[in-house]
Amino acid sequence: MCADLEITITNGSLRYHSTKNDQQNNAVIKDLNLTIAANKWTCLVGKSGCGKSTLIKFLAGLLNERTQWHGQLNISDNQPLAGRVAYMAQQDLLLPWLTVLDNVCVSSKFGHHNHSSTANLKQRAMTLLEQVGLADKHQLLPQQLSGGMRQRVALARTLLQDQPIVLMDEPFSALDAVTRYRLQDLFVKLLKHKTVVLITHDPQEAIRLSDRLYMLQGEPAFATALSLPTSLPPRRFDAESASHQQRIFDLLAHDHD
């Protein structure tokens, strides 16, 4: 599905409802302005605890009961986000008692997919497993897979939902450098016609994958757009990329001090 969905946030503010133990109820995000461009990768960086996950969980509709939102959230087609977002958490969240194939199909059990007929679901899941190079592993259990394989299963599960917006919270953080590099390429290829938001702690990954890049900083957090190399993602590690990476690192380090 290619829906060309752009998301614009203007003067966004988000706070968790206070609990009995914490009456402070401070905003996590305030004065947030950012644009998530249609069919592009928008990456978010920022120090731990600044509000990155809160922002994408909010966009995924996972915090509705727990947070209070102020501001404008505009979707380019003026339709709600609900039901059009696939969310991929940092952990792969595979169910240990289900096979790889059943894990890929699992979201269909909760109605999070766009195809009313489930007759060909397994066939589509197998096609996706082929694309991520795991067709021959479809009958294995998650504990029989490596970390990179598990992330590929999680990607296939996300793709099966076939939503136009994909939100990913550090999906590559637990992987070795080579697996990470290869999976980044695979994700770029398979998510080509999706509007993607990626959270990462890694300046190199942010530079390699971003069409747009924002840093969340401050308490409460706001977003600053950062410049990117002139080349297109996925970028090679050249001198221009290196200087942009250094700049992000310096900004993050400054925010830590």
Ligand X SMILES: Nc1ncnc2c1ncn2[C@@H]1O[C@H](COP(=O)(O)OP(=O)(O)OP(=O)(O)O)[C@@H](O)[C@H]1O
Interface residues with ligand X (CB under 6 A) are 16, 28, 46, 48-54, 66
Q: Which residues pair with 29 in a beta bridge?
A: 14, 221
Nearest distance from residue 205's CB to ligand X, in Å?
Answer: 13
Closer Cβ to ligand X, 64 or 118, answer by number:
64
Residue 206: strand, helix, or coil? helix
- Least distance to ligand X, CB of residue 39, Å: 25
Radius of gyration of the chain from its Cα atoms, rounded to whole angstroms:
18
Compute the least distance from the CB of residue 52 to ligand X, in Å: 4
Nearest residue (CB) to ligand X, 66 versus 109: 66
Picking from 131, 240, 244, 232, the residue whose alpha carbon sits closest to that of residue 191 is: 131
48 or 143: whose CB is closer to ligand X? 48
What pairing do the DSSP bridges indicate for beta strands 165-169 and 41-45? unpaired
Nearer to ligand X, 20 or 236 (CB): 20
User: How close are the terminal C-alpha atoms of the chain, in Å?
Assistant: 44
Least distance to ligand X from the beta carbon of 4, Å? 28
The token pair that represents 44 in the structure block: 């978010």
